[in-house]
Structures are given as C-alpha cells and as structure tokens.
Structure 1
Amino acid sequence: MRLALLRWSGRQSLISGVVTVLFALGLLLILSLQINSSYRAEVQRARDEARNLAGVLEGQLGSALREVDLVVNGLGLQLQPGDLSSPDLGEARNKTLQSLLLDQLAQIRQLDNLALFSPDAVLTHRALDTPGSNIPLKAEALDRMRNNPFIERDYARLDGKGGLQRPGLIIVHRVEITPGQLDGWVGATITTQYFDRVFGNLALGHQGVAMLVDERLGVIASYPPQPAGFEPDAATLRALRDGAQEGIQVRQTRIDGITRQTAYQQIGDTPFFVAVSLSSNDYLARWHAETRYYLIGGALLMAMALLMAYFFWQSRQLSTHLRSKEKRLDASESRFRQMIETTPVALVLSRPGDHFITYINQQASQMFALPQATALSMRVFQLYQDRLDFLNQLENVRQSQPVRNLEVRLRRSNGETFWGHLSMSLAQGSAGTTLLIGISDITEHKALESELQRRATTDGLSGLANRAHFMDVSNHELIRAQRYGRPLTLMMIDIDHFKRINDAYGHDAGDAAIRAIAALCRSTLRDADVIGRLGGEEFAALLPETPMPMALLVAERLRARIEAHELVIPSGETIRFTASIGITPLEPGDTLIDPLLKRADLALYDAKHAGRNRVCQQQSALIP
C-alpha cells in the first residue's frame, strides 16, 4: 500500500513537473506574443498619430497660406495705378495706403507685416514700421516671376540675419493693375513666431519634432528650434516634391539608439512640406511600463503554479486569464472613449448598411445641438442639408476614393444649416464595418471668404460694383450679346459740377450725392442691368437686351429723376444737382467693353459741352 502510494506520488510529481514546465513555456510564449503584439500596436499607434498630426499641421498651415492669398489678392484689387511707383504719393494717398495695409494686416493673425514694392523691388509703403518688421525683398529673387507673368506668387526665406529680424517666410504676389503690365509687388511676412504657436499646440511628446521645409529641403521653421538627433529624410521630400509620391508618407529611422516615426506631407499646391517626428522614448514609454507589469505578473503566476495542486491549476489559470483579458478590454475601451471624447474634431460613427448612428462624441453633440442619446435613433444622412451629398460620399468611400476635408452643407437639430469640413472612411473592427465621419465647423471661415469676395467686387462708398468687377461682368455680357446677336447699350453718368458740391458743402455732401446717384440708378434700372462706379463722380450702366431707342428713354428717365431729387444734408440744407449721360450701342466688332466705354465717354463729353443735364448718344459707325 505504501509502495503504491509512492508510485502514485511519483507519477503525480512527474505529471505535475511536466505540466509545470509546459505551463512555464506556455506562459513565456504568451508573454512574448503579448509584448510583441503590444509593441507593434504602440508602433502602429505612433505611426497613425504622426500621420494625423501631419494632416492637422498641413491643414492649419495650408489654410493660413490660403488666407494670406485671399487678403493679398484683395489688397491688389484695391490699389490704383501708380500706387506702387513711389513712396511719396502725397500725404493723403500715403495715409490711405497706410490705412489700407493696416486694415488688411489686421484681418489675418499669422502675418507679421505687409508691404508694397515698386517693379524694381524698392519698398514704397508698409503696414508696420517697427524694429524687426523689415521685409528684405531683393530684385534678383523676383526674376522668376518677372520673366513669367503666369506666376502670380512666389516665396522666399526670411533668414533672420541682423539681430532684430526673426526668421520665417516672405510671400510675394505680382500686381497687375493695368492688364499685361507689371505695376509692382505685394510682400507679406510670416515669422517663426506664428509657426512656434502652431507647432507648440501639437502633442509631440518630450522628444518629438515638427518642421516646415521648403522645396530646396531647407528648414524654414522647427519645433523645438534646434532639434537634436533628427534630420528630415531628403529622399522622401524629393519624391514628394517631384510628384513620385503623394499624400502622407511615414518613415521609420533609428539614430543614436532612438527610433523615430516621421510623417511627411506637402502643403497643398505650395512648395512647402511638413515633417512630424515622434520619438520611441515617448511613444514606447507606456509599453515599457506595461512590459514590466507583464513580466512581474508572469513570474507571480509561475510561483503560484508551483505551489498549487495539479487538480486546481486549470480552473485557476482560466479564471486569472479571463479576468486579465476583461481588465485589458475595459482599459482599452476606456482609453478609446477618452480619446474620441476629448478630440477637437466632431466624430460620428454609423452602420454602413442602414446608416443608423451608433456613436457621436461630445463635440459632435454640441455642433449639431443634439443629445447623444437622441442621435442613436437617427440616420446619419439626417445631419446633412442634402441627403444626396451623403450618398455620393458613401459611394466614393466604398470605391476606395478618399473623402478628406470636403466642404459640405450640414444641418443642426433646430434646422439651422452650416458649412463643415468633412472626412469619411470605412473602418474594420470585431463588430464589423463602421463608417467613421470627422467634421470641423468652418462657418466663420466661409463668412470670411464671402466678406472678402464682397470687398473685392463692391465699391465701398456707393455699394455698386467697383471698376474691376464692372469690367469683368460687362465683358461676359458683351460676349453673350455678340454670340447670340442680341442688342446691348452702355451709358456713362457723370454728376455736373461735382467739385462745386464738395467746395460748397464739404466732402461728406459729395459722398452723399454719390450714394444718392447709386440709389437712383438701382431704383430706375432693372435687376439684370450692370451698374458700377468707375471712379470719383463717374458711373456706368450696361443694359443687356436693350436697343438704342429704349436705352435713350431709360437714360432720359434717369436724368429727370436725378434733376428732381432733393438731397438733405445733416446741416439741414437741401442740395439739388444734375447729371450728364453719354450712351452708345454695341457694335459688331466690339470684343471688349473698352471701345464702348470710349464711345460713351465721347458722348458724355458732348453732353457736358452742350450745356450739361442732358443725354447724348454716340452712334455706331455702322449706323448712317
């Protein structure tokens, strides 16, 4: 009986030893797989994070450069011939240009200074005249734009030499007030102070790096200012520059014992690139801590297994394993929810099949004025102004066509519509395919675009079309009339003795007279007629589908209304004034509006010399 017991004990010990060895080997294998899997997950997360940060940085800098283009283009449209020829244009005009530059500079926070240059790159006017605000523009840097009139803008590096001047970027726009003639340049500077603000808002970690690189692979700005142990990959930047690669490119490098995940992307249609690099000392810090915990936990489990009986080992191991998995899943879900709840982008998740919303974060809930619980009973296309927009985007995503930063009209729960930048993608998970939508509200940006467009096309005093916009619209109408053989007439209106009004009652009264003429033109003419202020007291009106006899009646009616109008100025005095009108029809050989303006101006000259307050016509050369 005792021998049997010993034999049983020996067999039990052998089985226990074998099971213990197998358990130890299995535990070591599981730990190694878990550590390797978590390592790969952290590396992939770092690559995705670098890619996302590069996309965010490209969007911010691209948007900033586009805003600069809009402001500078708007500035160019408000300049007059000769404004860039000399720094001494008289005290009044110099003050006007200084005010104009300061107004444009105040519209966009990333600009440090704004200046005007003559065709020879001589500084004539600038918004700020403070130490360190100089724009060192050199004539030879403009040769490429000077020799190629189709290049409207170019960039130059601001090297920051001279002590007070910060390094950065110079943006130069070509100015052609007179078509086909170089009138000068508009220069704007963005220093590293703005780039430092943008880079400083990125979650780069302690050893992360963000850079702005030009097409010559020179570093314009970086954060931190002098990063140690990092150089951008020249081959990747050259491939992006030459078009051999597109989109965001992520590269892994190892220098001085540090592995880096670096994302590169070109900024829109500019010659600049962003590079965002994350250090393994940052993105693997959590992995190192978790690995230590895994090893300590494995050692404890092995020690417990050696002290426990064989018959309780399987149940104990299974229970421990299940609890460990549950904790990791809960922690992972908690981290995921915390990440998407705190992200500054509105996120919406839905099922691609029936389009029901499965989740929205707090930002999306606030953006659409929609409680999160209520959103779960809605379909995602109900957030769109037009359901077809959603269906078209979903079809593109299903065909592997990316939808990124697309401008879309969306709708809040109260019916209010707004503009948003929308990105859409399909993600595969354990629960199946999920449609992921990211949205940024750009309503203010669209309002700014609309305001800049209005300022670029509208005369500030009269509210009518300015000269450039009038010429552009009139040329389109002229082409249409010539193509279909339709009649068209142009009239020019000039206030009689306008200088007397200014001299007798002041310039405010003159401005009031101009506004009164604009109001009378709008109320007398049709909505289809194009009315513009050409400058000073001179106006023009283009009358499509209007033959000469009818145009003469309209012009006479307008002249009579101006003569009968009484203008009451703030002093209580009543001013009455008249206007002379010159009118001319469209000729078959007219291809631009300029010949009509010349003929109408001659007719206006005849009206002035015939005694004013009358309508004179300049007959077509084809009419006997």
Structure 2
Amino acid sequence: MADFLVLVYVACYIGGGALSSLNSHRLTGVCISFFILLTFYSYKKKDFVHQCKQKEASENLRKLFDINPYPLILSRLDDGLILLTNERAQKEWPLAAEGGPQYDTRYVFRDAEDRAAVIEQLQKTSSLKNHVLQQMTAPGFTRWAIVNYETLEINHVRCILSGFTDITQLKKVEGELAKHASIDLLTGQRNSRSGMEALTQMFAESRNDWVECTLCFIDINNLKQVNDQYGHREGDALITTVCNVFAANIEPEDILFRYGGDEFIMLFFHKSNEAAEFIWAAMYKEKTSRKKQLSDNSDNAGSSPPLVH
C-alpha cells in the first residue's frame, strides 16, 4: 500500500511538472524534474525498505528475547536503568515488572561496588562470562546465579544485556558436600581433617601475636566395655552424649573436633590453664553423670584424664 501511494505521488508530480513545462515549452524542465523525482523516489523506497527490515528485525529480536528460557535483562550502561525484561525475568522478579523506574543494581549485581567492577571489566572486553552472584528474587528470598554480560548499542544508547542461569540447587549440593567433607556424621562436630585445618589456620593467624590457649587431647574411658556389653549403638550414643557435653560448655571461638574413634581434641582459645581446668572439671562432672545413665554401670566411670598442654 505504501509503495502504491508513493508511485501515485510521483506520477502526479511528474505529470504536473510535464504540463507546466509543455505550457512554457521547457521540455528540459520535464527531464530534470523526472530525474530529481526518480532519485527522490529511489531514496525514499530504500529508506522505507530499510525501516521495514529494521522493524522486522526488532520484532524478531523481541520474540527471541521473550521466548528465551533464561531470564534476560537489558539495562543502560551509564545509570543502570532497566529498559527491557523478558517474560522469564518478569516471573523471577515481579518487582522489576512493576511501573516506575527500576535499576539493575537490585537484580543484576550484588551491590553498587560489584556493578562498578563489572562495568570496568566490560569497558575493556565488552563481555563477561560466568560471574557468580547471590540475587534477591523477592523480599526475603535470594538465589545463586551465574550471569553472562554483553555490551551492545541500541538506538545510540550503550546497554548491558544480562543473562542468568540459576545455580541455587548446585550451591546447596556444594554446601552439603562441603559439610559432609568437614563434619563428623556421628557427632555433628568437625572431623579430623577439618579440625586440623582449623588449628593450623588459627596458629598461622596468631603467629605474630602472643595468644594464651590450652590444648586438650581427650579419650572416652571404657568405650570398648560399653560396646561389648550393650552394643555399638549404645557406644555411639555414649560418644555423641559426651561430645554434646563438650560442645555445650565451650565458647564459639574454641575449637572441638573428633580426632578418631573415641578421641577428641579441644582447644580453649584465649583461656589460661586455670580457666581451662575449671571448665574441664564442670564438663567431666556432667559427662560422668550422663555416661552412668547410658551405660547403667557406675563402676565403669574412670578418673578424670589430665589435660594435655
């Protein structure tokens, strides 16, 4: 329809110019007018075709943008104003789909400092892959994601296209694996490897400062007798009960871990020998009481083992 209107316009214009030239016997004017109008028509047609192609490309890009199964956010590079979000992103962040200006710092980056660091990298490379961050999906709810950033120019405005992959479940599995690798499953305290690493780190951090602490090596008396007489289930219950007594009487800065079997290592941090002895006496009294209840054999309670310094 647009091509037809342009043709009618050109024909009328040429016809009017020809009639005017014939009346004044200026046939040269007809040729010049025809050439000018033909050039004008060719330019307008190319411009019209270019605009149609741009519109079609924009519509196709928007369709691809919307049907992408991963959240996508387009924002301005200079101030972070969100220009466009696809349907998946709107479901992930309902607040971003509400009216009013929204900024990418709330959704695309951890914070303003993280955005500044990413922008600096994008200025150098124009893209950034596999950036891991924790995002807010709704008030009080967060998730982990890997984000890929690309810079592009749209309507002479520099923008950032951010694409997200949810790795929350992967992070949970990673956390569980780390927990199982560092936690003793029976007692819930650090295992030997994790405990030795904690001691090594603490000693390394305190190398240049004088820190008073007391190191205890502990083993449970008569555990074999409990296992033989009552079974290994009761022996495990004894280990767990004794460990719970230890854990309940130490400070958060202290270190407790199961060294192996019925052996534990405990570090009283920033405590003198006398303070550690006082705490240990209270723990041993409570431990002995619980041990008697579990084994039902008061004769098995040994004397308090000495502290190892």
Q: Could you tell me the TM-score, scaled by structure 1's length?
A: 0.41
Offset at residue 331 of structure 1 (A): 1.9
1:616 aligns with 2:293: no
Residue in 2 that maps onto 1:499 = 224
1:557 aligns with 2:249: no
* 1:476 maps to amino acid: Q
Residue in 2 that maps onto 1:513 = 238
Cα 1:319–1:577 change in 2 (3 A) is farther
Residue in 1 that maps onto 2:137 = 412
1:381 aligns with 2:105: yes
**Aligned partner (choices 470, 484, 501) of residue 209 of structure 2:** 484
**Alignment RMSD:** 3.3
Q: Is the 8 A contact 1:356 1:376 kept in 2?
A: no
Offset at residue 343 of structure 1 (A): 2.5
Summarize deviations over 1:561-619 as a string: whole Å, max 9, x none: 11112687xxxxx53578x9xxxxxxxxxxxxxxxxxxxxxxxxxxxxxx933132457
**Aligned partner (choices 449, 455, 459) of residue 184 of structure 2:** 459
Larger RCO (CA within 8 A; separation ≥ 6): 2
Offset at residue 461 of structure 1 (A): 0.7
Offset at residue 323 of structure 1 (A): 5.0
Offset at residue 317 of structure 1 (A): 5.6
Cα 1:332–1:387 change in 2 (3 A) is same
* 1:532 maps to amino acid: F
Aligned equivalents of 2:228 and 2:177: distance in 1? 34
Aligned equivalents of 1:577 and 1:388: distance in 2? 63
Which has the larger displacement, 517-526 or 392-401? 392-401
**Aligned partner (choices 147, 161, 166) of residue 436 of structure 1:** 161
Aligned equivalents of 1:576 and 1:522: distance in 2? 23
Q: Is the 8 A contact 1:513 1:567 kept in 2?
A: no
Aligned equivalents of 1:553 and 1:478: distance in 2? 24
Q: Residue 484 of structure 1: SS of its match in structure 2?
A: coil
**Aligned partner (choices 122, 125, 134) of residue 397 of structure 1:** 122
What is the percentage of aligned positions where both structures have the same residue? 20
* 2:104 maps to amino acid: V
Aligned equivalents of 2:86 and 2:292: distance in 1? 59
* 2:74 maps to amino acid: L
Cα 1:432–1:486 change in 2 (3 A) is closer
Which structure 2 residues correspond to residues 350-389 of structure 1 after superposition, within 5 A?
350-370=75-95, 372=97, 374=98, 377-383=101-107, 384-389=109-114
Residue in 2 that maps onto 1:544 = 269
Aligned equivalents of 1:480 and 1:350: distance in 2? 44
Q: Could you tell me the TM-score, scaled by structure 2's length?
A: 0.78
Offset at residue 410 of structure 1 (A): 1.7
Q: Residue 615 of structure 1: SS of its match in structure 2?
A: coil
Offset at residue 435 of structure 1 (A): 2.2
Cα 1:432–1:335 change in 2 (3 A) is same
Which structure 2 residues correspond to residues 26-65 of structure 1 after superposition, within 5 A?
none
Aligned equivalents of 2:302 and 2:156: distance in 1? 83
Aligned equivalents of 1:449 and 1:533: distance in 2? 23
Q: Is the 8 A contact 2:73 2:161 kept in 1?
A: yes
Q: Is the 8 A contact 1:355 1:381 kept in 2?
A: yes
Q: Is the 8 A contact 1:481 1:544 kept in 2?
A: no
Q: Residue 521 of structure 1: SS of its match in structure 2?
A: helix
Offset at residue 545 of structure 1 (A): 1.8
Q: Is the 8 A contact 2:126 2:151 kept in 1?
A: no
Cα 1:345–1:484 change in 2 (3 A) is same
Q: Is the 8 A contact 1:358 1:376 kept in 2?
A: no
Offset at residue 321 of structure 1 (A): 4.7
Summarize deviations over 1:64-83 as a string: whole Å, max 9, x none: xxxxxxxxxxxxxxxxxxxx
Offset at residue 516 of structure 1 (A): 0.8
Q: Residue 565 of structure 1: SS of its match in structure 2?
A: helix
1:529 aligns with 2:254: yes
Aligned equivalents of 2:283 and 2:198: distance in 1? 22
Aligned equivalents of 2:210 and 2:80: distance in 1? 53
**Aligned partner (choices 55, 60, 64) of residue 330 of structure 1:** 55
Summarize deviations over 1:357-398 as a string: whole Å, max 9, x none: 1001122222223463x2762111122442322233223323
- Any stretches of 5+ residues in structure 2 without a counterpart? 1-21
* 1:575 maps to amino acid: S
Which has the larger displacement, 328-337 or 407-416? 407-416
Summarize deviations over 1:327-382 as a string: whole Å, max 9, x none: 3223211211122222233221112233211001122222223463x276211112
Summarize deviations over 1:393-428 as a string: whole Å, max 9, x none: 223323547532111222123342222212333212
- Compare the two structures and name the one with the higher helix fraction: 2
Residue in 2 that maps onto 1:253 = none
Aligned equivalents of 1:405 and 1:335: distance in 2? 27
- Any stretches of 5+ residues in structure 1 without a counterpart? 1-7, 23-309, 569-573, 581-610, 620-624
Aligned equivalents of 2:267 and 2:84: distance in 1? 56
Summarize deviations over 1:203-236 as a string: whole Å, max 9, x none: xxxxxxxxxxxxxxxxxxxxxxxxxxxxxxxxxx
Residue in 2 that maps onto 1:349 = 74
Aligned equivalents of 2:234 and 2:81: distance in 1? 63
Cα 1:474–1:378 change in 2 (3 A) is same
Which has the larger displacement, 393-402 or 545-554? 393-402
Which structure 2 residues correspond to residues 149-228 of structure 1 after superposition, within 5 A?
none
* 1:421 maps to amino acid: I
**Aligned partner (choices 129, 152, 156) of residue 427 of structure 1:** 152
1:575 aligns with 2:265: no
Cα 1:480–1:388 change in 2 (3 A) is closer
Cα 1:549–1:482 change in 2 (3 A) is farther
Q: Is the 8 A contact 1:488 1:546 kept in 2?
A: yes
Count of residue pairs the alignment pairs up: 282
Summarize deviations over 1:532-572 as a string: whole Å, max 9, x none: 1111111111112223222222222211111112687xxxx
Q: Is the 8 A contact 2:215 2:308 kept in 1?
A: no
Aligned equivalents of 1:616 and 1:504: distance in 2? 27
